[in-house]
Structure 1
Amino acid sequence: MNKAGFVALVGRPNAGKSTLMNWILGEKIALVSQKANATRKRSNAIVMHNDDQIIFVDTPGLHQAEKLLNQYMLEEALKAIGDCDLVVYLAPASDKTIHYEKFLEINADKRKHIIVLSKIDQISQADLLKKIGEYNRFSDHFLALIPMSVNKNVGKKDLLDTIVKHLDESPYLYDPENITTEMVRDIYKEFIREAIFDNISDEIPYESDVIIDKIDEDAPVEHIRATIIVEKDSQKGIIIGKGGAAIKRIGQNAREKIERLASKPVYLELFVSVKKGWTTDKKFLSDLGYEW
């Protein structure tokens, strides 16, 4: 019998969870940004490792939840911890262990987990050994500790081997030919949001979202129409930019990401709409797909 199971990727904001998932999958499906708290919802990647199936669940960063949208994001991470068979906790190697200690407090059900020391290429070997020693104080809590670097392509096989070791025997949960359970429109939405994060500064990316209005996949050139939602008229002006320069950059950036996944030319139309107070409007958040 093969093994299969769900594995939650958790950690503080900007720990590298989405980057790790894309890297392991070998395909970009999750939003990646240098800005913290870019990931808002859980998303799944289906990874085959030899004859076993691992469903990685990317999650928003563990953080203080003040705004309604942030409360939803934290709830998404907590649900993933509770629902999955195994947890992978990402700890950037330069971090203090305080973040992990907070995770232990959150992990009230003592869900079994693996620590991944990410971004080890950013510290010296001596500091890495010291950091491993610091985490060894908590060895009674975790199953394994795996140093990893996406940039140096280090640690992937060790992580997958270790995960499979701790999963139960199970038939495949999804078709092995699939790479994700996400709908295409949700992936495209995240690519447009990523382009906003990449091209617009300050708080605007956090107060914006995207609605995919229409996708025509049948034509030789895939036609996508989407609306960017912001909270203020001034934000709409910044998203559009002088002479439409900013929205053109966003559109080009997003289109290139979508074309790589779709493997065909894409025509992307972007519009901007103001919805005052949308981040505190539970009904509108639900309409956007943020359902409690």
Structure 2
Amino acid sequence: MCRCNPRFPTRGIFVNQQPTRCGYIAIVGRPNVGKSTLLNHLLGQKLAITSRKPQTTRHNMLGIKTEGADQIVFVDTPGLHSGQDKAINRYMNRAATSAARDVDAVVFVVERARWTEGDQLVADKLSGIKCPLIIAVNKVDQLEDKSTLLPQLQALAERHPGAEIVPVSALRGVNLDALEEVILRHLPQGPHLFPEDQITDRSSRFLAAEIVREKIMRQLGAEVPYEVTVEVEEFVREDKILHISAAILVERSGQKRIIIGSKGERIKQIGTQARQDMERLFESKIMLNLWVKVKSGWSDDERALRSLGYRDE
């Protein structure tokens, strides 16, 4: 699962006498609209972390799906938002905006039966793109009155003439086959860029850090703001056991006490849940060691962000 940016194609241009196709598909949208959940269900396995808190996704990440002659390289992106007050917010917006450039198609994820200022912000950012636009109307399973969906689809068609619109439920897997069929139509012919068994460009260390951060966000809800990140300091395999040590970085001592919890119970729960997910992902026994450190101002310090892996790519 190593990070990879191959200079040369990994296959020929035919598989079972079928010409191979390969393309990059950016998944964009406002925060908390279901982009990472959509990616996970399209891939058929959990890769991107999810929570109900906006801005859970902070980095662009590739999710690679190879089936027969077709390889789709999905680009999962942070939610575009209006906040520019901190360096980490500016970084996330740059990452999301850059992902829509030089791809073969964009999947714009919106929510059922409503259009928000956040959706309009994303639409404005996409106004100059040259590639095909696919609008995935998510969470349609939550509509009590299905008749309200048609006016929403008509309004989207008027706002984005030429876009292909597909109603879906990312969480329930509703109509994802239809969405994938639309995506496949926009893949150009050409050799596959990644090995058949590779599912992401991100390293195992990165995925381990993201799993820990997901468990923090799910455990704490609104108790701890977004000034939390995770840095893996040890990732070593000994015999059949993978030893992972990670520091949870916060900005204030009060946040540290919240994450640790009474008698260390909360960080123990975070560690247990993270370890279980890691064992499924890495197919290995995991020994996980977590601790919390205060690093004041890291989320508004460009140099600190780069050192923690928040780099423009």
TM range (shorter): over 0.9
1:201 aligns with one of 210, 221, 229: 221
Q: Distance in 1 between matches of 2:68 and 2:302?
A: 43
Indicate the RMSD between aligned Cα atoms, in angstroms: 1.5
2:202 equivalent to 1:182: yes
Please state how far the C-alpha of 1:135 moved relative to its aligned partner: 1.3
The letter of the residue matching 2:159 is F
| SS at structure 2 position matched to 1:83 | coil
2:77 equivalent to 1:59: yes
Aligned to 2:305: 285
2:211 equivalent to 1:191: yes
Aligned to 2:111: 92
Contact in 2 for aligned 1:193/1:205 (Cα 8 Å): no
2:61 equivalent to 1:40: no
Q: Distance in 2 between matches of 1:279 and 1:53?
A: 36
1:240 aligns with one of 250, 253, 260: 260
Please state how far the C-alpha of 1:264 moved relative to its aligned partner: 2.1
The letter of the residue matching 2:161 is D
Q: Distance in 2 between matches of 1:205 and 1:83?
A: 34
Contact in 2 for aligned 1:97/1:134 (Cα 8 Å): no
Per-residue CA deviations over 1:4-40 (Å, capped at 9, x if unaligned) read 1111100010010000111111111111010001110
Q: How does 1:254-269 map to 2 (within 5 A)?
A: 254-269=274-289
Per-residue CA deviations over 1:47-78 (Å, capped at 9, x if unaligned) read 12442110001000010122110000000000
Please state how far the C-alpha of 1:210 moved relative to its aligned partner: 0.5
Contact in 2 for aligned 1:279/1:285 (Cα 8 Å): yes
Q: Distance in 1 between matches of 2:271 and 2:39?
A: 25
Contact in 2 for aligned 1:93/1:117 (Cα 8 Å): yes
Q: Distance in 2 between matches of 1:98 and 1:130?
A: 19
Aligned to 2:26: 8
2:117 equivalent to 1:121: no
Per-residue CA deviations over 1:108-153 (Å, capped at 9, x if unaligned) read 43232100011100113111222112212134241x1011113432
Moved more, 94-103 or 148-157: 94-103
Q: Distance in 2 between matches of 1:197 and 1:8?
A: 25
| SS at structure 2 position matched to 1:130 | helix
| SS at structure 1 position matched to 2:158 | helix
Please state how far the C-alpha of 1:97 moved relative to its aligned partner: 6.1
User: What is the identity percentage for the equivalent residue pairs of Structure 1 and Structure 2?
Assistant: 36
Q: Distance in 2 between matches of 1:247 and 1:16?
A: 27
Query: Structure 2 length as normaliser, TM-score?
Result: 0.89
Q: Distance in 1 between matches of 2:61 and 2:67?
A: 19
Aligned to 1:215: 235
The letter of the residue matching 1:208 is V
The letter of the residue matching 1:35 is K
Q: Distance in 2 between matches of 1:102 and 1:230?
A: 30
Moved more, 126-135 or 150-159: 150-159
The letter of the residue matching 2:33 is A
Distance verdict in 2 for CA 1:277–1:101, change over 3 Å? closer
Q: How does 1:133-212 map to 2 (within 5 A)?
A: 133-142=154-163, 144-202=164-222, 204-212=224-232
Contact in 1 for aligned 2:109/2:137 (Cα 8 Å): yes
| SS at structure 1 position matched to 2:73 | strand
Distance verdict in 2 for CA 1:100–1:276, change over 3 Å? closer
Contact in 1 for aligned 2:100/2:129 (Cα 8 Å): no
Contact in 1 for aligned 2:64/2:71 (Cα 8 Å): yes
Distance verdict in 2 for CA 1:201–1:97, change over 3 Å? closer
Which has the larger helix fraction? Answer: 1
Query: Structure 1 length as normaliser, TM-score?
Result: 0.95
Contact in 1 for aligned 2:215/2:270 (Cα 8 Å): yes
Q: Distance in 2 between matches of 1:139 and 1:235?
A: 44
The letter of the residue matching 2:108 is Y
The letter of the residue matching 1:107 is L
Aligned to 1:130: 151
1:105 aligns with one of 124, 127, 133: 124
Q: Distance in 2 between matches of 1:97 and 1:263?
A: 41
Specify every segment of 5 or more residues in structure 1 that has no aligned partner in the other structure, as ranges. none
Aligned to 1:25: 43
Contact in 2 for aligned 1:67/1:280 (Cα 8 Å): yes
Specify every segment of 5 or more residues in structure 2 that has no aligned partner in the other structure, as ranges. 1-18
Tell me the matched-pair count.
291
| SS at structure 2 position matched to 1:48 | strand
Contact in 1 for aligned 2:31/2:80 (Cα 8 Å): yes
